[in-house]
Amino acid sequence: MGTSIIFNDAGRIIDYTYFFPGNQQLKGWWNRWYFNTSLQPNLGIKRNILNHGDWNYYVGINNTFSLSLFKSMYNSGFLLQHRFSRVTLEPFANELFISTGLQKGRRSFHLDFRAVHMKFLDEAIENNGSKLDFYNPFKIRFRVGYNLHTI
């Protein structure tokens, strides 16, 4: 289980009806900063390929699903600062990683390479209109783990 805060400083048109349903007066504003806080449960399988002393080496597949919990946008204009936020429970993204790692006792170290990235529609900002977008830039992540319970 993990959490992340995604920070985006690229300007996009804000859909204010997402934050204020029914309000048609706030149009054409651009965000200055956008924060998306999400919960990221991980599910994966791994196969041990080598044992050397106390170390176990393995490969596997890891899936990470991101669920948005809180969205916050900031917009600044001439002498004005505006903040719009919303508590939510919406799918944000799903990522599939090819994983390699090593483990010694309860400690583990992982190196993941993203194979597939599915991004869900974010209605808070201007987007391409696709409900599901296979946006897949290159990504590597390094994780450190500690198993609270071993089988």
| Domain chopping of the chain, boundaries | 2-146
Q: How confident is the model at residue 122 (pLDDT cuts 50, 70, 90)?
A: confident
* Rounded average pLDDT over 126-141: 80
Question: Which residue type sits at 139?
Answer: K
**Amino acid letter for position 105:** G
Whether residue 90 has pLDDT greater than 70: yes
- 3-class SS at 16? helix
Q: How confident is the model at residue 150 (pLDDT cuts 50, 70, 90)?
A: low
Give the lowest-confidence range in 33-37, 82-86, 128-132, 133-137: 128-132
Tens digit of pLDDT for each residue in 41-83?
A: 889 999 999 999 999 999 999 999 999 999 888 776 555 567 7
**Percentage of the chain with pLDDT > 90?**
43
* DSSP bridge partners of 35: 7, 72
16 phi and psi angles, rounded to 5 deg: -70, -20
Residue 101 has pLDDT above 80, yes or no: yes
Angle (nearest 5°) at CA 30 between 24 and 33: 125
Model confidence at 97, pLDDT cuts 50, 70, 90, reads: very high
Q: Once rounded to an integer, what is the mean pLDDT over residues 94-109?
A: 94
d(CA 92, CA 74): 20
Looking at the predicted structure, is the pLDDT value of residue 17 above 80? no
Spatial distance between the Cα atoms of 107 and 101, rounded to a whole number of angstroms: 11
